Structure 1
Amino acid sequence: MSYKTLLVHIDDSLRSHARIALSLDLARRWDAHLIGLYVVSSDLFRPPFRRDDSAPFAQLVAQQAQRQQTAHDAFLAATERAGHRSAEWRAPRGPALEVATLHARHADLLILGQDDPQDAAAYVAPNFVGSLVLDAGRPALVIPHAGTVKSPGENILIAWDGSREAARAVADALPLLKAARYVSVDIERRTEPHADAPIGIDVAAWLDMHGVNASFSAAPGHFGAGTGSTLLNRASDGHFDLLVMGAYGHSRARERVFGGVTRTMLESMTVPVLMSH
């Protein structure tokens, strides 16, 4: 099993070039086709523009077209420098989240960037990354907006609570897990009196059947809002370069509601996180 089609989200943000570089490294690793999907805010009066901008509408459109051309040229130049020939550029029109979701559903792995509130050009739509993770039906590798991120996957931490989402994430991460030097499973410790074994034993055995020799440790309590910070501390202390976890969330009225750990990761991740829903 490997990823044959990768999709990297490209925008006008400062970190877009880092995502492209990382996605090219992964594409070379798996000899995969790389799609550069340019999707930015579909509202010209959203950031990085301002409603009091005195520029005429036609000038704003021209500026946006120039940004797109700059991103296009940078993507093609990066693929050429990397010597990766199986790559294509896409810049679909339409509502940002809808078109991104449609294109994401035809890729094996998405490479996305964590929302950066300090970079106006990183804004695409409300909860863009989280909503794409929940709606696309594809695993997403989300890259932190801070720090230098190298190609992840040497030391991997799995957050396991026995849920459908966690099972999906582990299965989706198999190409990375099989190539990793070290894999550890952080599991939720059962607190019921009749429980005779941690719920991570079964997943460790399943991974072993796929050639992944993983260690595991039991974490007290249940995964909840505070668990996100605990996982990030564990990842930092253990020098893990990738966290694998299920993504939790649902829609309530017109509002997207994320689970506590998912929300913490989307807001505060310090290492790349592979999420599946």
Structure 2
Amino acid sequence: MGTTFRSILVLLDASAESAKRTQAAIRLAREHGSRLAGLSPTGLADLPDLRTSNRELAARAARAWDALKDRAESAAQSFRDACSAAGLGDVQVVIEEADTAASVLRHARFADLVLVGEARPDAAAGRERGEAIEQVVLHNPRPTLLWPDSAPADSMARRILLAWDDSREATRAASDALPFLQRAEHVHALWADEGDLDAGKARERLDGLYHWLHAHGVRCVVHVAQVKDGISATLRTRATEIGADLVVMGAWGRPRWAERVMGGATHGMLRTLDLPVLMSH
């Protein structure tokens, strides 16, 4: 028997897509025999206009917090109902008055896999949600499984595209994804190069990955590709070609002043998700 995710943490929210994410988490918990936990953080109240009296500001803050808590409670109850309907007994529900990213990162320490939604920059709360998801990906001590709104809940990682570039992040991602890789029917490892591609050297490096995967009971096909329109576009194109239902890749980011700037491929995949992506940093 291969490795497995013994515990899965899923981020809940008040969106319609959260229900689909919950169903995906339930299916994964069943397949891996995992203990499932649903996390419903309130997020922080947005009070941009401070040109008011202290009394009015306090009243607005109270109403905003009440609304946030109501949404968090509603999302948690929907999760409870879905788990009960699915006959899933070993579940935990956490409602927390906290910033979304900070809450996820705090509870992620005690999970083997963290399932979150996509970063949708065009949604009503897209900027806040996108920033929270990026922070989770970059700081999560566990692998992050990003589940796009368009992905079916029954997508079960049977055909996997593994992005490889010899980096520490790619190595971590491959290791973190072993429970998926060992259960997959087809695994394709891709070396995508933006520079002067030396196919021979790339295949030599992929050879080491091939043998490491083989030692863990994973059979894979290796590919080398020249990048023309960016790495994220190359990954999406190859994923479509092989019919992948999961992409595994390292997440890369570097500090820049007080912000966190995503690497090009990481940022591209986060903003244009159309299938589940497992990222490790």
TM over 0.5: same fold? yes
2:277 maps to a residue whose letter is: V
The alignment covers a number of residue pairs equal to 270
Q: Counterpart of 1:215?
A: 221
Q: For 2:64 and 2:262, how far apart are their aligned partners in 1?
A: 34
Local SS of the residue matching 2:27? helix
Q: After superposition, where does 1:5-16 map in structure 2 within 5 Å?
A: 5-16=7-18
1:207 maps to a residue whose letter is: L
Q: For 2:172 and 2:123, how far apart are their aligned partners in 1?
A: 32
Q: After superposition, where does 1:106-185 map in structure 2 within 5 Å?
A: 106-120=110-124, 124=128, 127-185=131-189
How large is the Cα RMSD of the aligned pairs?
2.6
Q: After superposition, where does 1:26-37 map in structure 2 within 5 Å?
A: 26-37=28-39
Cα deviation code 1:233-255 (max 9, x no counterpart): 11112110000000000221211
Cα deviation code 1:81-123 (max 9, x no counterpart): 1111111111122333222211112210010111123432566
Local SS of the residue matching 2:43? coil
> 1:70 aligned to 2:87?
no
Q: For 2:125 and 2:74, how far apart are their aligned partners in 1?
A: 14
Q: For 1:240 and 1:129, how far apart are their aligned partners in 2?
A: 23
Q: After superposition, where does 1:1-277 map in structure 2 within 5 Å?
A: 1-45=3-47, 56-120=60-124, 124=128, 127-188=131-192, 191=197, 195=201, 197-220=203-226, 226-277=230-281
Q: For 1:123 and 1:34, how far apart are their aligned partners in 2?
A: 28
TM-score (norm 1): 0.89
Q: Are the equivalent residues in 2 in contact too, given 1:40–1:123 (CA < 8 A)?
A: no
Greater Cα offset, 241-250 or 230-239: 230-239
Local SS of the residue matching 1:161? coil
Greater Cα offset, 195-204 or 22-31: 195-204
Residues 2, 193 of structure 1: CA spacing in aligned structure 2 closer, same or farther, 3 A cutoff?
A: closer
Give every structure 1 segment of 4 or more consecutive aligned residues whose post-TM-superposition deviation is greater than 6 Å.
none
Cα deviation code 1:108-158 (max 9, x no counterpart): 001011112343256645621121111111101101133534333110010
Q: Counterpart of 2:54?
A: none
| Unpaired segments ≥5 residues, structure 1 | none
Q: CA deviation at 1:214?
A: 0.4
2:69 maps to a residue whose letter is: A
Q: For 1:9 and 1:194, how far apart are their aligned partners in 2?
A: 43
Q: Are the equivalent residues in 2 in contact too, given 1:25–1:151 (CA < 8 A)?
A: no
Q: Are the equivalent residues in 2 in contact too, given 1:97–1:125 (CA < 8 A)?
A: no
Q: Are the equivalent residues in 1 in contact too, given 2:39–2:76 (CA < 8 A)?
A: no
Residues 68, 195 of structure 1: CA spacing in aligned structure 2 closer, same or farther, 3 A cutoff?
A: closer
TM-score (norm 2): 0.87
Q: For 1:126 and 1:218, how far apart are their aligned partners in 2?
A: 31
Residues 10, 173 of structure 1: CA spacing in aligned structure 2 closer, same or farther, 3 A cutoff?
A: same
Q: Are the equivalent residues in 2 in contact too, given 1:37–1:90 (CA < 8 A)?
A: yes
Identity level (%): 33
